[in-house]
Structure 1
């Protein structure tokens, strides 16, 4: 047999930094998981595979051996290698091997997150929400870790402070002051990323049956998280300058939501920002209907400032009375640090700190100390300046490439890492075809609470360096539009 796709470059990239064995194992694993290789299908012989993909036989032997060890292939003496039967793989999964026992592949939020963790080369993942590793500064993190390790080690052996490492909270006070948000360290609670921050706030404010408003489109992870709490998630249409306030007022009167989660600056997935006029209207509606606003500002440091792109933060206008402000460093420093924070009133900060303590005791102080060092020594500002400059270079180029491929962007913005693209076709189908060729897309259906098919998709401009991706998008989107 020949592995789909037949082009060697779809399976192996010698410039990716990943070993050839790892690439072969990852690619074949993905094809089996996504049902592109059927149960009991015979794999190419070691000689055939080596010739087809121009690798050594030793490389193929090692890759096949790993796939057998992980339960994806079986070796039949004298016959070759075959895709292992699904029942056998499920049994292996129950015994502790990392396989996927689900009988079907389903395009949903969990699907996207699970595929994001496959760690394909960045240029194969335009649907990811992270910057490529070589855009970040691993040495900056390593230096911070070395500096922390040279300090008094006793605190590293104990639990941290439930509210978070105090020097970091003091540094965050200065960071918030630059945004004209007044908050003392006692008003700040550190979290394991914005994900935990949202979870803590949702658990504090909602009971099963309560309603939470989100933007539509919005960050997909919230939908499943809130649903597990028994909350009803309702989307508010997002326009170029913020939410549709007429719809917000109408739905607020109907549903009486407890929370409204919103990106004011560099909204995910459109990279648009809230106008001052819309900000005042949102606060007025929230006060009228007693809605607490959760302002997720995770992309704060990718924004160049109001001189380049107008942007208004609700927390700046409200000063943490009705607005709970969330931030973090996973997008700009390292996702693996998991350092985020909540800024709110004194009373609520204490309640959220207690809730955090009851669920996870404390966050990891090692990461908080590393972030504190980077912020306090002035390295962070230069680092994010470099990221913004790279994004500025890539964004215009990516938009031109996408438009030449027949796609449209309604509201291109001068900042941020995402563009919200209209393909003119069902992006669920486009995503399935992309997976068959080794690309991960983020279809628009996943960004809406109703999960309905969409012609939209989110594209990370930092990943748009693979000519094959653009050729695929132009070819397949044109076919689907016919």
Structure 2
């Protein structure tokens, strides 16, 4: 390759490095630079383009990372042979069967948030990205050495101190030594399940319940049995019957703002759950991931089983990815001192540590009081949307028989097979969450979960109106 003549634009919005990378990529893509061609030395390219050698070094390094160049020690940089990009053709087979993996996979498709009423997170325009951005900027200004090493297996200590204060507000006493940070509640559940169960053991869950558990527990060879969820908590008679019959190791529940119904457990039911756990010797795992959306006042009381038990037979889980940012995978486990140590060791053996950068960001948001005010704004915004969405759903023939005054979900009855409804919706770029996904037996259901914050697109409403009307007349 001959030394290029100066051709960079100095007052461009594009950096000099980006311009050099783009120029060389274009020449390689257009076959003006052939495989094996030697690139100009860093010095000669810098002189020809009248830029610093550091600029050329960074550009060459980026081209190596992108697969355009290769670096040969002592010889320089050479154009690399690039394999053509190929895609696997999609076979025109029968439609994919709806199951937990189907729903999770489609939740990660690049779909507009307002066409995803089946999602479990707030749309982007409901979130305050500046909170996270400010936290990241603050962390980036720290001594770099603090960001380069592993975190501690049990988690960033100041964050655990902050979580201790938050739990105290819920009347749950836990020292930092009783807390273990995790990569979201998903990892927390996995750690607890692996600690307590072996293939063939039984775990009890609410029915309906969070669908991701079913797939992850199946991988462990664990049997999952659903306990009917009532408006004030689990069916206690069914819980005791299944516990006596199957001798479960764990019972996993949402006491507050249950997913998918947004109902909360009464104090009486919470006491009965704890009594059943003691009688049948199982551990209660309390997943409280959505509870920050609950106002927790006298009009809408909320009882945590952990507040009654104080982490003796109850393991309490929480996290921030649902309400701060889905990509901010910071969760935690609160439990006894001994179990916290064991779970920390198990976490260390599986993933070493969680990412301390994210934990520092969450710590900053919590410790400066921003999170509390942000959640209050989200709750006040959800209240009118929840009510108006419920009324509109009723008007188009979708029954809202359980209306709760808090939370982002409505558990509704569409009056038809919601598996079929979800398949038709996906063909039009709309993601729904059919009720079958939320039951361990995954039988067809007329129920589905609606995220009220994601119900602003007129096309979604028109689709539901047309389909419900058509299916009701057939």
Describe the superposition over 1:191-244 as per-residue Cα deviations: whole angstroms up to 9, x where unpaired: 000000000000000000000000000000000000100000000000000000
Change in Cα spacing, 1:397 to 1:206, as seen in structure 2 (3 Å) is same
Q: 1:155 offset after TM fit, Å?
A: 1.9
How big is the shift at 1:473? 1.2
The separation in 2 between residues aligned to 1:97 and 1:145, in whole angstroms, is 38
Q: Counterpart in 1 of 2:365?
A: 374
Give the alignment's TM-score, normalised by structure 1. 0.79
The residue number in structure 1 matching 2:319 is 328
Question: SS of the residue aligned with 1:336?
Answer: coil
Q: Secondary structure at the match of 2:109?
A: coil
Which residue of the other structure, out of 137, 142, 158, is the alignment partner of 2:149? Answer: 158
Are 2:192 and 1:207 aligned?
A: no
Q: How far apart, in 1, do the equivalents of 2:284 and 2:169 lie?
A: 21
SS in 2 for 1:400: helix
* Other structure's SS at 1:407 match: coil
Whether 1:184 aligns to 2:175 is: yes
The range that moved more, 326-335 or 182-191, is 326-335
| Cα shift readout 1:277-322 (whole Å, capped 9, x = no counterpart) | 1111111111000010000000121111132322210000000000
> Counterpart of 1:318?
309
- Which of 100, 103, 118 lines up with 1:127 in the alignment? 118
| Residue in structure 2 matched with residue 290 of structure 1 by the alignment | 281
Contact kept? 1:173, 1:184, Cα under 8 Å = yes
- Cα 1:276/1:210, change in 2 over 3 Å: same
Deviations 1:102-151 (A, max 9, x none): 87412111111111111311211100001011111111111100101111
Structure 1 residue 411 displacement after superposition: 1.3
After superposition, give the CA deviation of every residue in 1:146-204 in whole Å (9 maximum; x if it has no partner).
10111111121011000000000000000000000000000000000000000000000
Matched-pair contact (CA < 8 Å) for 1:271–1:413: yes
Once residues 93 and 423 of structure 1 are traced to their aligned partners in structure 2, the CA distance between those partners, rounded to angstroms, is 47
2:262 to 245, 268, 271: 271
Within 1, Cα distance between the matches of 2:114 and 2:84?
Answer: 30
Larger radius of gyration: 2
Does the 8 A contact of 1:405 with 1:471 survive in 2? no
Unaligned runs of 5+ in 2: 1-82
Matches within 5 A, 1:44-55: none
Aligned to 2:39: none
CA contact (8 A) 1:93 1:100 kept: no
Is 1:394 matched up with 2:385?
A: yes
Q: 1:380-417 CA deviation, whole Å, 9 max, x = no partner? A: 11110111111112100100110011011111000000
What's the counterpart of residue 172 of structure 1? 163
Distance 1:341 1:102, change over 3 A: farther
For residues 21-44 of structure 1, give each alpha carbon's deviation from its aligned partner in whole angstroms, at most 9, with x where no partner exists: xxxxxxxxxxxxxxxxxxxxxxxx
Deviating 4+ runs (over 3 angstroms): 92-104
Residues 98 and 204 of structure 1, relative CA distance in 2, 3 Å threshold: farther
Number of residue pairs the alignment of both structures matches: 391
